[in-house]
Structure 1
Amino acid sequence: MLPLASASHRLAGAVARDIGIAILSGRSPPGTVLPGEIAAAEGLGVSRTAYREAIRTLSAKGLVESRPKAGTRVCPRGRWNLLDPDILAWAFETEPGEGFIRDLFELRQIVEPAAAELAAARRGDDHLDRMAHALDGMARHGLAVAAGRAADQAFHHAILEATGNAPLVALSSSIAASVTWTTIYKQRRRALPRDPLPEHRALYEAIAAGEGTLARARMAELIHLALADTELSMAE
């Protein structure tokens, strides 16, 4: 049996997820005033403590704001922390929209090729070991299952960590979440159209060889091909 504090935290997380999905799906658009704490907690069948914790979580992510006497209101989209891994997950639990998906790939094209070039110059043996281990996991499991996608996340995370740039490393969770959710999205109706492992291996080889310009180009090509795969899925 879970301790009460742990159970309450999980319940608050579930409430935050449900409200977050309602906001991201447009069912609770910006400007919507959420029900008062007592009514909302009763309607959801949770304690007021769990509901308050859920609202604090959503507020920290920029989705809502609470003011005395004004209640809790859904914030304008420009204030949402769209790179928060939870928000990315909630967005893909609905239909995220082609524009948002393309924006994620555009962000990756801005960040990851430059990161790959830095990683080629700065990586240590531990980074290379982690990349190689992640590639083995991708090959063993494939991207159709969670274990393979986790290995894919670990590969991209190791590259960002190899840059030694703290702000870039801080983006690693968001980039990894973006990689995972777009991978899930593009195979939601059919199997992946191709095996992306060769491009990952080619990128690893460029980083291991310290070839920064080549690593940049190979990362750009990897993302370009991933977007092409996703566009096929969007077209369906």
Structure 2
Amino acid sequence: MDNRSTKGKPALRIHQTIAHDLGTAILAGRHLPGEIFDGEIDQAERLGVSRTAYREAVRILTAKGLLESRPKTGTRVTPRSRWNMLDPDVLAWMFAGEPDESFVRDLFELRGVIEPAASSFAARRRTDAHLKAMSEAVEGMRRHGLATPEGRAADQQFHKAILAAACNEPLASLASSVGAAVSWTTTFKQRTRALPRDPLPDHVAVYEAIRDQDADRAHATMAELLRLALADMKIALPA
């Protein structure tokens, strides 16, 4: 395990690194549902960490639905249906490996349910402050480009700003999950090649529809943005 900091990011604490490594392995299928892990002492010794650090990692994975621990039966991998796939960490672990096409399709289908509707609501309810946040995000994408961490952060902020502008608390609670999905799919698309096209005009079209308070156009332009993003994603997936 390597918990050194990279490019100014703080190093993960040991238990977070263990959770990352085990979570990635589970999502990649190296630990299958129903598999029972060795006891806490044996696992800690195998990983070269303290029992406390290993125990904390298990607690993280249990909270995200990937593991369960029971007296006498030990710690086992849970069925996939119990995994919290919208947790930002789980999304990151999924894209750290090779996500299968069905998962990517499912993720975009979910975004297709949430984001066009949120854009339509935003067109009706946005304030000047919401528009300012969206405009600044678009400008950040334009200035930095999506090949940079700064540009991808601006992309995240754009989608989060739309959910905020919908003025619907349950929708707003999905901002972190949607933002994580935006970030990791964009990063994944660029792992072996440059983006196949510039998606900035798609974002500008959504922004202009919301600015103009055209709810139907906002819905349609966001749906088209997601359709094109999924097409780009399929190009990046392994054959």
Q: Distance in 2 between matches of 1:154 and 1:220?
A: 18
Identical pairs, percent: 60
**Corresponding residue for residue 62 of structure 2:** 59
Q: CA offsets per residue over residues 87-140 of structure 1, 9 Å max, x none?
A: 000001111111111111111111100000001111111111111111111011
1:49 to 47, 52, 56: 52
Aligned counterpart for 1:83 among listed residues 83, 86, 99: 86
Match in the other structure for 2:221: 218
**Does residue 102 of structure 1 match 2:99?**
no
Residue number in structure 2 paired with 1:69: 72
Structure 2 equivalent of residue 209 of structure 1? 212
Is 1:168–2:171 an aligned residue pair? yes
Out of 11, 15, 25, the residue aligned to residue 22 of structure 1 is 25
1:144 to 138, 143, 147: 147
Aligned-partner SS, 1:54: helix
Q: Partner of 1:228 in structure 2?
A: 231
Residue 3 of structure 1 is matched in structure 2 by none
Structure 1 contact 131–154 (Cα < 8 Å) conserved: yes
Once residues 64 and 92 of structure 1 are traced to their aligned partners in structure 2, the CA distance between those partners, rounded to angstroms, is 19
Cα distance in 2 for partners of 1:61, 1:79 equals 9
SS at match of 2:76: strand
Residue identity in the other structure for 2:147: A
Distance 1:36 1:169, change over 3 A: same
Count of aligned pairs: 230
Q: How does 1:161-200 map to 2 (within 5 A)?
A: 161-200=164-203
Distance 1:146 1:211, change over 3 A: same
Q: Which runs of 4+ in 1 moved over 6 A?
A: none
Aligned mates of 1:92, 1:47 — CA distance in 2:
28
* Structure 1 match to 2:125: 122
1:111 and 2:114 aligned: yes
CA RMSD of aligned residues (A): 1.5
CA 1:70–1:23 in structure 2 vs 1: closer, same or farther (change >3 Å)? same
Residues 33 and 73 in structure 1, CA contact (< 8 A), matched pair in contact too = yes
Per the TM alignment, residue 9 of structure 1 is displaced from its structure 2 partner at its CA by 7.5
